[in-house]
């Protein structure tokens, strides 16, 4: 790749509990396919190979819905099949691969500077804190929260289906406020597939865009460490992002 800071064509794979979304950045092809509780990495790669060859991209970014440590998957996902730990994506896809937690990848593409907390509402709850460009993925979805239940038990998709969207929205607002206070975030970006179900985002929060996951997939190739973003413009004043603010 020579002296380029980022590869010219990055294949970004956003792995979710219901779908895998795929895009080759720099105006390349984009598509998605179903995931679900039985999806293995071999099956995912097979679906990718039906649409793409290794000549279509120069590098790969994978947003994985689980724990990633030092660029390696270190825990099997809660909502997919097994076999993800130790799977050699670079060999299977034929190009260099950077793997990062899926919430962290969307957070990277949503970052506006300063101390940002990203919360991804989906099958579960993804979370990432970015402080002055340093990405810190958080595994808080399974932490105890209230009434003997976890954060995910309150704001995940199963919780919404169990209690109804109206009560779920109220609990989302409460959880966002509590997590923002606990982590000292200057602002919160609320993203993930279920952000569309919120009529309003909580105070101090912006509505994220799921397309930012693909932006983040490119940004993590901007330097030697995928968890350190290049310097950004200063964070705008509250309300500056009129299209996204509550």
For every residue of 97-132, DSSP letters joined together read EEEEEHHHHHHHHH--SSEEEEEEESSSEEEEEEET
Q: State yes or no: pLDDT of 141 exceeds 50.
A: yes
Burial (CB count <10 Å: 0-12, 13-18, 19+), residue 122: buried
Query: Is the residue at 172 inside a domain?
Result: yes
pLDDT tens, residue by residue, 46-81: 999 999 999 999 999 999 999 999 999 999 998 899
The model's pTM? 0.88
Q: How many domains does the chain have?
A: 2
Phi and psi dihedrals of 237, rounded to 5? -65, 150
pLDDT tops 70 at residue 246: no
pLDDT over 70 at 235, yes or no = no
**Residue 242 domain-assigned?**
no
Residue 134's domain is classified under what CATH number? 3.30.420.40
Sign (positive/negative) of CA torsion 91, 96, 98, 102? negative
Both 147 and 68 in one domain: the answer is no
Residue at token pair 């293995």: 40
Is the domain of 192 the same as that of 159? yes
Does any domain span residue 124? Answer: yes
CA 61 to chain centre: 12
Which residue is listed with tokens 């919160």? 188
The boundaries of the domain holding residue 43 are: 10-104
Is residue 218, in this structure, part of any structural domain at all? no
Same domain, 64 and 124: no
């Amino acid at each position: 790749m020579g002296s380029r800071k980022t590869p010219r064509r990055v294949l970004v794979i956003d792995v979710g509990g219901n779908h895998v979304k795929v895009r080759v950045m720099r105006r390349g092809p984009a598509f998605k396919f179903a995931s679900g509780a039985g999806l293995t990495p071999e099956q995912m790669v097979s679906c990718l190979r039906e649409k793409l060859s290794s000549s279509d991209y120069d590098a790969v970014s994978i947003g994985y819905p689980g724990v990633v440590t030092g660029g390696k998957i270190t825990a099997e996902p809660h909502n997919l099949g097994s076999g993800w730990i130790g799977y050699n994506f670079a060999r299977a896809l034929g190009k260099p691969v950077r793997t990062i937690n899926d919430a962290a990848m969307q957070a990277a593409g949503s970052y506006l500077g300063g101390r940002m907390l990203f919360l991804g509402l989906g099958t579960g709850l993804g979370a990432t804190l970015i402080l002055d460009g340093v990405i810190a993925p958080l595994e808080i979805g399974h932490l105890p929260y209230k009434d003997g239940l976890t954060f995910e038990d309150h704001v995940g998709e199963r919780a919404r289906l169990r209690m109804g969207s109206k009560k779920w929205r109220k609990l989302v607002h409460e959880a966002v406020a509590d997590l923002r206070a606990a982590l000292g975030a200057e602002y919160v970006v609320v993203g993930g597939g279920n952000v569309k179900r919120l009529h309003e985002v909580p105070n101090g929060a912006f509505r994220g865009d799921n397309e930012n996951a693909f932006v983040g997939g490119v940004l993590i190739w901007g330097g030697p460490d995928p968890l350190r973003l290049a310097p950004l413009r200063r964070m705008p004043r509250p309300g500056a992002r009129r299209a996204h603010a509550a």
